[in-house]
């Protein structure tokens, strides 16, 4: 545990309010983010680092991050729960894959509700289906995201095929690099 983490744990030793600060979570956050002073404007980046390493954002880790950043835990939780790509979970191990299905106007008109119903029959320990707001694929509604891989237009068959193929990251376009562009 770093000196800053020990100070945080000692400072919080008074009357407990809200979710308690867990020393193991403080050590996890320290290991992932280092001992340097954390900047408020990089909160989303820190949340990504924690989620990428642990698979989800648990309450203990959010409280530890808040303490390290000298923020109220509710401020960190608000940011983490606002963005639908963060997996805020009480479970120790979240499902392996989250399928996010847009249910905004364009996708709803194109059958998002029936797609969500059909995908909800997938095994829940391996795949979680989540309703989310617009993912920016209105031109090919209904749309879904498998991790970071877009499926649009999405159908039950297209989503299941992408899952079977292990497609969970977006394909990198064949674009010109910056150095070649400025040359």
Residues 69 and 9 both lie in one domain: yes
Residues 49 and 74 both lie in one domain: yes
**Domain count of the chain?**
2
Residues 69 and 128 both lie in one domain: no
Cα angle 169, 173, 177; round to 5: 120
From the list 26, 183, 127, 125, the residue with the least C-alpha distance to 116 is: 127
Entry pTM = 0.64
Domain for residue 74, yes or no? yes
Domain for residue 38, yes or no? yes
Residues 71 and 117 both lie in one domain: no
Distance CA 54, CA 56 (A): 6
* DSSP 3-state of 101: strand
- How crowded is residue 5: how many other Cβ atoms within 10 Å of its Cβ? 19
Q: pLDDT tens digits, the chain, 183 residues: what are they?
A: 666 566 555 555 555 567 788 899 999 999 999 877 889 999 999 999 998 888 788 999 999 999 999 999 999 999 998 887 787 877 666 667 889 999 999 999 999 999 999 998 887 677 888 898 889 999 999 999 998 899 999 999 999 999 999 898 888 888 888 998 998
Q: Indicate which CATH number applies to the domain containing 101.
A: 3.40.30.10
Residues 67 and 104 both lie in one domain: no
- Which pLDDT tens digit goes with each residue over 62-109? 999 999 999 999 999 999 988 877 878 776 666 678 899 999 999 999
Domain for residue 182, yes or no? no
Residues 53 and 104 both lie in one domain: no
Domain for residue 127, yes or no? yes
Domain for residue 173, yes or no? no
Residues 102 and 49 both lie in one domain: no
| Cβ(39)–Cβ(74) below 8 Å | no
From the list 120, 104, 83, 91, the residue with the least C-alpha distance to 152 is: 104
pLDDT of residue 9: 58
Residues 67 and 117 both lie in one domain: no
Average pLDDT over the chain reads 86
Residues with Cβ within 8 Å of 50's Cβ and at least 6 positions away in sequence, in order, are 28, 29, 32, 33, 57, 61, 65
Residues 71 and 122 both lie in one domain: no
pLDDT of residue 55: 78
Domain final position from 50, 82, 114: 82
Residues 76 and 122 both lie in one domain: no
- How crowded is residue 136: how many other Cβ atoms within 10 Å of its Cβ? 11
Domain for residue 92, yes or no? no
Domain for residue 174, yes or no? no
pLDDT of residue 115: 96
For 113, the domain range is 97-164
């Amino acid at each position: 545990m770093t000196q800053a983490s020990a100070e945080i744990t000692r400072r919080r030793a008074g009357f407990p309010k809200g979710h308690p600060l867990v020393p193991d979570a403080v050590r996890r956050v320290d290991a992932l983010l280092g001992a340097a002073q954390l900047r408020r404007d990089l909160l989303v980046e820190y949340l990504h680092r924690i989620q990428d390493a642990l698979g989800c954002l648990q309450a203990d880790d959010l409280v530890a991050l808040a303490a390290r950043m000298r923020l109220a835990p509710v401020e960190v939780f608000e940011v983490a729960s606002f963005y639908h790509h963060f997996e805020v979970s009480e479970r120790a191990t979240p499902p392996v894959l989250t399928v996010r299905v847009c249910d905004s106007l364009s996708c709803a008109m194109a059958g998002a509700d029936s797609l969500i119903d059909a995908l909800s029959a997938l095994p829940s320990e391996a795949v979680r289906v989540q309703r989310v707001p617009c993912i920016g694929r209105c031109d090919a509604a209904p749309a879904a995201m498998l991790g970071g891989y877009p499926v649009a237009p999405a159908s039950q068959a297209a989503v299941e095929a992408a899952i079977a193929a292990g497609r969970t990251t977006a394909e990198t376009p064949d674009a010109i690099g910056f150095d070649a562009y400025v040359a």
